[in-house]
């Protein structure tokens, strides 16, 4: 029922979906560009229109009052972004403990412009030995989708070039908030 409802709502608001269902039962789904509060509801509708269950994280401040129950029911996990304690290991362990798991996040980490993407998703994929599914929102075309899979090779520069090529031409609702697809050199 949720699948049908989501497809109808997306169609009513003028959005097209491009979904290529992966054969893998465990993967990380990254969504970009992330420039607006609208990315989450449109992204969830897209995901719900496919027969998969998404697990995702968001800042703990969103999980208050009735939203706590609602977001958790939708697969949300609250995180305290001020504490840096083994997040990669925790999520990789979750992959080990489940037969099926789709973990979604936005590598930009914020709706504001950033000069670099966060790389945690990449290292989670390496540690958990799962692929990365590339998802996108393209506001000018009113298209949202996912399906291209990348298995991380351990060569982050080479893999990020593939990711950068995929997101070329995709535009968020507020393109001025959209930063480049690149990583900070250490």
Look up the pTM and report it.
0.85
Q: Is residue 161 part of a domain?
A: yes
- DSSP 3-state of 79: strand
Number of domains in the chain: 1
Q: Is residue 182 part of a domain?
A: no
Q: Is residue 160 part of a domain?
A: yes
Q: Is residue 54 part of a domain?
A: yes
Q: Which domain holds residue 153?
A: 13-170
* Structure tokens belonging to residue 148: 């291209």
CA-CA distance, 70 to 74, in Å (whole number)?
6
Identify the segments of the chain with pLDDT beneath 50.
none
pLDDT in tens, 53-102: 888 877 788 899 999 998 888 888 887 767 666 788 888 888 998 899 99
């Amino acid at each position: 029922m949720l699948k049908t409802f989501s497809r109808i709502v997306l169609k009513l608001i003028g959005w097209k979906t491009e979904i290529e269902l992966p054969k893998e039962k465990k993967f990380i789904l990254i969504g970009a560009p992330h420039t607006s509060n609208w990315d989450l509801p449109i992204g969830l509708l897209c995901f719900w229109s496919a027969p998969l269950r998404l697990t995702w994280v968001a800042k703990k401040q969103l999980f208050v009052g009735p939203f706590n129950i609602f977001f958790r029911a939708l697969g949300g996990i609250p995180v305290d972004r001020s504490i840096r304690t083994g997040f990669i290991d925790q999520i990789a362990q979750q992959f080990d403990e489940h037969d099926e798991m789709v973990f979604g996040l936005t590598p930009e980490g914020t709706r504001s412009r950033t000069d670099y993407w966060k790389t945690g998703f990449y290292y989670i994929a390496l540690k958990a030995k799962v692929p990365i599914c590339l998802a996108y929102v393209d506001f000018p075309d009113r298209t949202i989708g996912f399906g291209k899979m990348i298995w991380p090779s351990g060569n982050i520069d080479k893999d990020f070039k593939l990711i950068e090529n995929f997101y070329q031409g995709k535009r968020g609702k507020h393109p001025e908030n959209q930063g480049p697809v690149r990583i900070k050199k250490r």
